[in-house]
Amino acid sequence: MPDRPSVLLVVCVAGATVLAGCGASDTTSAASGPSTLQFRLVTSSTAGPCHAPPLTSDAPGSACGESGTTTYQVGASLGQVTPTAVTYPGGTAATQVFSLELDQAGSVKLGDITSKAVGKQLAVLIDGRVFNAPTVGSPITGSSLRLATSTPAETAQVAAALHATATS
């Protein structure tokens, strides 16, 4: 079974941006800044060990899921979005929710990408690997995204890949 069900991509409601900062001791991003998210349509996926190198071109190709247990065949890049900040609660909880803030241009770009992908499986790549590949139910608009992880290992991978800042 592909590794994508363990991670959830959701849109923050309007008030969630304000709530994400409540009680935070440090909401700045790491010095190197958050990684860019790249979006591609999934044409197929195969369960099993993946040995493909990180996908570095915008052309169609093969990309491994974060856990290395799924190989995705993906189309050409539909675009990229770079969050302006990425934070998460930190601590030892298995489930963590990362808050990604987008600027106006990033919000518009993500809305455009997801409006063209409604009903299709859309791969979210970080550093050339598929972080998540949900089926898009409706366009994602707004200036905030939330990415949820379900295991401490996923949390560590996502925090490192996105240069996220723990707020606890």
Tell me the pLDDT tens digit for each residue of 76-96.
Answer: 999 999 999 999 998 888 788
* Entry pTM: 0.74
CA angle 92, 95, 98 (to 5 degrees): 100
What's the CA gap between 94 and 151, in Å, rounded? 5
Tell me the pLDDT tens digit for each residue of 115-166.
Answer: 999 999 999 999 899 988 999 999 998 898 888 888 888 888 888 888 898 8
pLDDT of residue 155: 86
Residue 24 has pLDDT above 90, yes or no: no
With a CB cutoff of 8 Å and minimum separation 6, the contacts of 42 are 72, 73, 74, 75, 120, 121, 122, 123, 133
Write down the mean pLDDT value for the chain.
80
How distant, in Å, are the alpha carbons of 19, 35, 103, 106, 157 from that of 162? Answer: 21, 5, 16, 16, 9
Which domains does the chain show, CATH number per domain? 4-166 (3.30.1360)
Kindly list the strands in the beta sheet with 144-149, ordered across the sheet, starting from the edge strand earlier in the chain.
Answer: 8-11, 144-149, 96-101, 85-88, 165-166
pLDDT of residue 86: 92
Q: Coil, strand, or helix at residue 113?
A: helix
Residue 57 has pLDDT above 80, yes or no: yes
pLDDT of residue 157: 83
DSSP bridge pairs for 125: 38, 130
Q: Coil, strand, or helix at residue 59?
A: coil
pLDDT of residue 32: 62
pLDDT of residue 65: 92
